[in-house]
């Protein structure tokens, strides 16, 4: 079958379920043939090998079953890096790149005040957030500050399957890092220069760090974190059934935030508040309709210095920033 014939047959099928059928076909052809978009467009008379045609038909059926493209290709660009993913992980969203931007601003501020910065990222999934932060830090080490300094980033993940995806991305994307330790539930990576050290730990854990784990060597001083980052599950349970059919293919445990959609965020605060350093900052992605409910909860239960919102590109309150006392 020629490329043009495949497109002609697949297009009316994909129009049933996909809002972007032409783009879907184009992307799947590029993926299956391992060719760039330009090649696909210029070689419409190319005869598709039989085994490739079989795979393409399988992909089309998966799309008809509302499988996201990212789960078919097992990849997604986020903050200029290509991340590996599976259907055991949430698909990174463009708006979450704002969380990376804001985290980098906080780190820059912290490094003006101290030589060592400790960061805890909760629910890492593909590890797209910490890896993107690390890549930007590496690019601009000289922009952060002069002199000797250290950054320790620890990311937790409860799902064992998602943890392996995070390990894969860390090992593949973080060039120049040495592997200090690797077990089934822990990966420690390290990058250092004469004046700068960056430690990156990915650990199998719920929200808090299991400091009692014998294979997770961490000094008591590391237990107080300066910055907490998370894109947690935040969809209210009753809204789960109304999600787009493609979104419903993503892991429910990565989406469902409980009855009100703030239960996991409440747990983040209750489990980590005693592990904070002085003036620690929480940066958390939220469900915009829950902004005021969350504000009331935090102000009622915790002593804080400031609470503010960071809006996404559509003007919605997408992130909460809380500075503690």
* pTM, 2 dp: 0.93
- The neighbour count for residue 153, using CB atoms within 10 Å, is 27
pLDDT at 140: 76
CATH 1.10.8 assigned to domain 3-65? The reply is yes
pLDDT at 263: 96
Residue 26 falls in which region: left (phi positive, over 0), alpha (psi -120 to 50) or beta: alpha
**Cα–Cα distance, 129 to 99 (Å, whole number):** 8
**Cα–Cα distance, 157 to 209 (Å, whole number):** 10
> What is the SS3 assignment for 209?
coil
The CATH class of the 76-324 domain is alpha beta
Q: Name the CA dihedral angle for 122, 127, 133, 134, rounded to a multiple of 10 degrees.
A: 110
> What is the SS3 assignment for 291?
helix
pLDDT, tens digit, 9 for 90 and up, residues 4-15: 999 999 999 999
Q: What rounded mean pLDDT belongs to the chain?
A: 93
Q: Are 197 and 177 in contact (CB under 8 A)?
A: no
pLDDT, tens digit, 9 for 90 and up, residues 93-117: 999 999 999 999 999 999 999 999 9
Joined tokens for residue 279: 């003036």
pLDDT at 144: 63
Joined tokens for residue 81: 């890096």
For the chain, domain boundaries: 3-65, 76-324
pLDDT, tens digit, 9 for 90 and up, residues 242-257: 999 999 999 999 999 9
pLDDT at 207: 79
pLDDT interval class at 21 (50, 70, 90): very high
Alpha-carbon 29 to chain mean position:
27
Q: Are 121 and 153 in contact (CB under 8 A)?
A: yes
124-138, 162-176, 201-215, 256-270: range with lowest mean pLDDT: 201-215
């Amino acid at each position: 079958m020629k490329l043009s014939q495949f497109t002609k047959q697949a297009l009316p099928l994909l129009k049933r379920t996909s809002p972007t059928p032409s783009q879907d076909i184009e992307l799947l052809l590029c993926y299956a043939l391992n060719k760039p978009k330009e090649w696909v467009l210029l070689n419409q008379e190319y005869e598709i090998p039989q085994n490739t045609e079989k795979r393409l038909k399988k992909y089309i059926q998966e799309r008809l079953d509302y499988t996201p493209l990212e789960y078919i290709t097992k990849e997604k660009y986020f903050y200029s890096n290509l991340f590996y993913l599976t259907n055991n992980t949430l698909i990174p969203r463009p708006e979450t790149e704002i969380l990376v931007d804001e985290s980098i601003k906080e780190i820059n501020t912290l490094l003006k005040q101290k030589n060592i910065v400790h960061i805890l990222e909760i629910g890492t999934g593909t590890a797209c957030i910490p890896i993107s932060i690390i890549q930007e830090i590496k690019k601009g080490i000289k922009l952060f500050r002069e002199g000797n300094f250290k950054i320790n980033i620890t990311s937790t993940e409860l799902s064992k399957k998602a943890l392996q995806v995070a390990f894969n991305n860390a090992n593949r994307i973080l060039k120049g890092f040495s592997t200090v330790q690797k077990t089934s539930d822990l990966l420690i990576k390290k990058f250092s220069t004469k004046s700068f050290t960056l430690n990156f730990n990915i650990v199998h854990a719920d929200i808090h760090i299991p400091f009692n784990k014998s294979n997770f060597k961490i000094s008591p001083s590391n237990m107080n974190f300066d910055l907490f980052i998370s894109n947690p599950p935040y969809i209210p349970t009753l809204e789960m059934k109304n999600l787009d059919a493609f979104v419903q293919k993503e892991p429910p445990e990565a989406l469902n935030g409980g009855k009100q959609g703030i239960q996991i965020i409440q747990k983040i605060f209750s489990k980590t508040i005693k592990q904070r350093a002085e003036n620690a900052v929480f940066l958390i992605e939220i469900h915009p309709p829950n902004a005021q409910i969350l504000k009331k909860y935090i102000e009622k239960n915790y002593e804080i210095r400031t609470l503010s919102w960071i809006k996404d590109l559509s003007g919605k309150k997408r992130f909460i920033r809380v500075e503690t006392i």
